[in-house]
Chain A
């Protein structure tokens, strides 16, 4: 019984970090005390079930009010500005991680077949890349939303949704594998992840059309389109096999990671250049 109360209090204390620092400093201690009071009463009335029943509405309210407090203190506006600044470096990081995965795949294929531990090292940078990718996509959307046309905005929205989808799918997969390992592979989660990855690419095709038409980048205006089209260059190789003119059966994952990695890297560098141009323009104005 005590354990449930203690765990609830500790978890609630951790969740208070979602609030802005100033708000937490002013009210954190009181909120913990009030939560302790509420848990105590719920426990006396209905036992452990009462404490557990307290959680869903408390969590919902906590997320909503933490967001409100952050918006009120201008932190969300600051976060959006930071996202815009970080879009270039994060996209470069995504490119580097994909290239690392490509390199890992290449080394694995030529010399270390059968070493499962090494295979994990290839997939790790690939899966890790989806964390910076989501923030990069959010930043790219902030960058281009004011200047893009309807098609570009739709593409960016689809990409961001895809980025969020793939990250959530990976997290759900990890959670399910941890909680119910005996249930086996969770196909629907994998399908969601693949669908989300394709959404990112389709979004970039739409965004790329807009960028090419309106020349929204200082250079390489074809890059976003190519980034989207890599899905056509790489995924069919996964599904239908590698054509005869490619040397070996392992060309597909390597090509997928390598082409996409180069594209993300170049696009990130372009964003960095665009950011510097915008800063210089703002400084001269």
Chain B
């Protein structure tokens, strides 16, 4: 695996879920917050300060970038900024997902979920 990718793993839960939220398309700030809340079934709620702190760190690490495409420019405020995964970000997300999948295989092998 690419050393640059490896260095970033494991991702923090916040960064992982934000990247997961962006995996199916660009989103603005509130869209990311909502997506994380829905995808974790309310178990994780990212607040605005933490969201933009993470956005700054992810931008600096080259995981995400600002995109200039608008899903529907007529319905949207043009001051809104949208973010999307960079190709490197997608690579990191894939590597993290593989790491979690491997852990999941161990969890299933040891029937940890079955014992709950």
Contact = CB atoms under 8 A, between A and B. Distances in A.
Contact of B53 (A30, A37, A57, A65): A65
Interface stretch (A21-29, A102-110, A162-170, A183-191): A21-29
B68 interface: no
Nearest to A26: B56
A121 interface: no
Interface string B72-89: 000001011100000000
B33 A34 contact: yes
A61 to B, nearest CB: 3
Interface in A61-86: 61-62, 64-66, 68-69
A68 B53 CA distance: 8
B33 A38 contact: yes
Contacts of A38: 30, 33, 48
Given A27-B55, A33-B79, A33-B80, A66 B33 contact: no
Contact of A30 (B29, B45, B47, B50): B29
A58 B56 contact: no
A23 B56 contact: yes
A31 interface: yes
Contact of A64 (B45, B49, B55): B49
B1 to A, nearest CB: 28
B95 interface: no
B79 A31 contact: no
Interface string B38-59: 0000000101111111011000
Nearest to B57: A72
Interface residues of A, number: 22
A67 to B, nearest CB: 10
B81 A30 contact: yes
Contacts, number: 60
A35 interface: yes
A62 B80 CA distance: 21
Contacts of B77: 33
B29 A33 contact: yes
B52 A30 contact: yes
Contacts of B28: 30, 33-34
Given A27-B56, A33-B80, A65 B50 contact: yes
Contacts of A37: 29-30
A35 B49 contact: no
B50 A61 contact: yes
Interface in A201-223: none
Nearest to A15: B49
A61 B28 CA distance: 19
A21 to B, nearest CB: 14
A62 B53 contact: no
Contacts of A61: 47-50
17 contacts: A23-B52, A27-B52, A30-B81, A33-B30, A33-B77, A34-B28, A34-B29, A41-B30, A57-B45, A61-B48, A61-B50, A62-B48, A64-B50, A65-B49, A65-B50, A65-B52, A69-B56
